[in-house]
Amino acid sequence: MFLFSLLKSGANVGEIIICVLAMLIAAAISIVMHEVSHGFVALKCGDPTAKFAGRLTLNPVAHFDLIGILMLFIVGFGWAKPVPIDSRNFKNYKLGVFLVSIAGITTNLILCGLGLLLVFLLKPLLIINISGTMTGYVLRLFLYYFLLFFVKINFLLAFFNMLPLYPLDGFKALDLFLKPGNPYSRFMYRYGNFVIVGLVLISRTFSYANLDYLNIFYWGNYLINLLIQLVI
């Protein structure tokens, strides 16, 4: 669990506060941009539902979801309220659904790439020097944690949403290419939410049993950690 791991890390109270603050800001930007991109693309495709609902704003309060925030603290991965979309308003139904479905994933991958670029460009500033001033130390520590969480959260959001499980974006894009009423789609519409919860619980069980290689989130973290190491 995120908070438990943080408390076990041996960091002092000040470092924990900086880490949590950096994580919250990085997560807010990443998750809000994901949701706003869905609404913005939907608007361009002819559906103003998100605009009329006030969800095309970067204000995180408009996208706040209590359970998603709690999960962010508990497991280090959260979500916002889904942006309301009415696909009946799309000028081209299939194209509109596809573009809206991949909008969030695409946005998170772009933000992840920008984060990696910043890590590369700002490498000298990411060296934590405790011999400097306290202000400099705090700012460097915050920048380090912010960029680390920003890159990881955006990558994991894209990685997770690519899964072909209802109601994730990957399923919505895939469902367009499947025959109407096919067994897989029927199963997902009925049990998709339970499958996702089960996947998370099973992945956590593997982690507790030191079988991380069987944990789907392990591979997402492995890939992004590899990218970060290549950049640094």
Task: Give catalytic residues, as residue numbers.
Answer: 35
- Residue 64, Ramachandran bin (φ over 0: left; ψ between -120 and 50: alpha; else beta): beta
- How many degrees, rounded to 5, is the angle at CA 148 between CA 145 and CA 153? 115
Residue pair 216/199 in contact (Cβ under 8 Å)? The answer is: yes
Whole-angstrom distance, CA of residue 228 vs CA of residue 59: 29
Measure Cα distances from 40 to 52, 57, 107, 204 in Å. 12, 10, 11, 34
Whole-angstrom distance, CA of residue 1 vs CA of residue 85: 33
